[in-house]
Structures are given as C-alpha cells and as structure tokens.
Structure 1
Amino acid sequence: MLDLMMSDSFENRLSGGHPNSLGDTLNVVDDILADQEKLTELIECYDSSDEVVRLRTSNALKRVQLARPSWLLRWTDHLLENIAQIDQASTQWTLAQIFRKMKPDLTDSQYDRAVTILLSNLKHSNDWIVLTQTMETLSSWATRDDGLQKQLKPLLHKHGKDERRSVRNKAEKMLVKLI
C-alpha cells in the first residue's frame, strides 16, 4: 500500500518523460484545485533533486495562481526565503511572474525582499527567459518606485546591448516604459 501511495505522489507524477513536456502537470493542478491542502505537496516538490520535477512544479504553481491567486499568499514568505534560493532558471523566471501578480498583496518587507531577489537574478543570470521576465516585473514596479528605477536603469542599459535579440528588445522596451 505504501508503494502505491509513493507512486501516486506529486513528485512521482511530475517526473519522467521529455523535459519539455508537461507530463502529468495538468492533472496535478486539477487535483490541487479540487483540494487546496494539496498545494503543500506541490510546494514540497521544489525540494526534489530532479530538475524536471522542479520545472513542472513551477509550471503547476503558475497555473494554480492563475486559477486561485489568493491560495499562494500564505506561501509568500516561503517563496521569498526558500524557493528563491534554488539556482534553476525555471524557478527564477516563475518567481518573477508570480511576484508580479502578487505585488498588490506584498508587505513592504516582502516587496523589498522580492526586489532584492529579482535584481540579483537580473545581474547574475544568463538565461534569456529569466532576464526578460525579471525585466518585465521590475520595470512594472519601477514605474512607481524611484529607488528601484535608479537601480534598474543601468541594468536595462547593460541588457540593451545583449547579443540575443529577445533580451536586447525587452531591455529597450522597458527603458522606454520608464522614461
């Protein structure tokens, strides 16, 4: 019976197959939407040693947030303090997207922590999706935060010279947004 329970775990269901496929992600999301308490098990999948599991966990988490935005709010501090420490591009770009949607519900302290995390990712990541999603989030916040804008503009100028068109174009577009 324990083997059956283990094989039915979210971690098991999110593993295997081609890394670019969703695997069983959509069914896991359906299970969570039917029972909010199962969100804990999904969040715990970020502890997996399998990067495909963590990638699909990120995908599932975005889908849960889209369907039930308030459900992630109790996890805000955990996302900021623990999940943000994961050195995986899919986790970093997912957090940029999740934090963008959480902004109205972040405390000042949580907002400051999110800004610090995202600025660090923008300075140190070389992944084009991390860079573009992070620029999008920080630029949307910087329109109302002069201090952030002062920190962000030099990074946008830097990324505006990136050899990858997607990164360069996003940086240029975000600079125009801040003028």
Structure 2
Amino acid sequence: MNTVADTDLSDSELAELDEFLLTHEECLAIDEAHGYLTALIVSRADDDESAILEAVLGEAEATAQINELLLRMYQDIAIELESAEPFEPMVIEEEDEDGDSFEVYDGWCFGFMLALSDYEEVWRELPKEQQSLLEPIATLALLREDELDMDDEEYAGWVSLLPGSVSGLYDYWH
C-alpha cells in the first residue's frame, strides 16, 4: 500500500467520510468500514488499495478526497494495531427514545465479520485455539442483523472483550 502522509483523520474529515458513506446505500457505514478494514489488517488478507476501496464503497463513485480518507483510515488502524496501546474499535453513539446516548459496537463487528466472509480462504487457516477470539465479534455482529437480543450488562461484557480479541488475532497473524 502507498503511504499517505499525515494519516490521523480529524473530526471534520471523519464527518465528511461518514456523510459520504451514509448518502450512498451501496457503501458500508463508517463503523462497518472500520471493522472491515481492521479485519483485513489483522489477517493480512489484502492491502491492495483498489480492493479496499471497492469493498467499502461498492459501486459508489467517490472523489479522490474520499478515497484518500478511506486509505488514511486503513493506515490509522494499522498504526494503532502495531502500537502497544489497547485497540479501540470505532464506536457509534445513538440515542434512545428518552434522548439518552448509548454506544453501539455491532456495526463495527458486522464489518469485521463481513471481511471474514469475503476472505474466507484466509480466515479458514485460523487454528481452532484462536477461533474463540472471534466469539465476541461474531456475537455482537448478530445484533446488527437482529438475530440476537441481550441486556445491557451482557452487551457491556461482550464489548469489554473486543480489544483483547482483536489484539489476540493480530498477534496470531503477525
């Protein structure tokens, strides 16, 4: 992958990317894109720029600016995974009917699992001992598809396992 200078995305750049992705239904949502890209980096499945852009954008016609923002997001994730700091999946804040904010991780998990599906031949090589690391991600991804229901405490428990799961998978592949 080509190196893009100054990879840290600002809040306004993240907002610009989010707006573009939301206005094109064929695109992954920003949290799904972050999860998808994380899975690619963790497994070393693909670092081809055109494949990365196509996976996130689908058939959407993106500007050079949007393409650059996505590639910088990819690099931000790679840098974070290489660091000694705990990995933080992208979280989306939503509001309930009372106006209270809450954090949502299932979109990120859905994107991660989508990459596993798209790169099944790579992930098939994951040994049985490491497959349990996918459980928190897969479980929370099911919420995105309304295939699972859980209370707040159980949800928080699964979320707390995400950084360790991602780090463990990254350590295995790298």
TM-score, scaled relative to structure 1: 0.31
Considering Cα pairs closer than 8 Å and 6+ residues apart, tell me whether 1 or 2 has the greater RCO: 2
Larger radius of gyration: 1
Give the number of the structure whose residues are more often helix, by fraction: 1
The structure that is strand-richer by fraction is 2
What's the TM-score once normalised by structure 2's chain length? 0.32
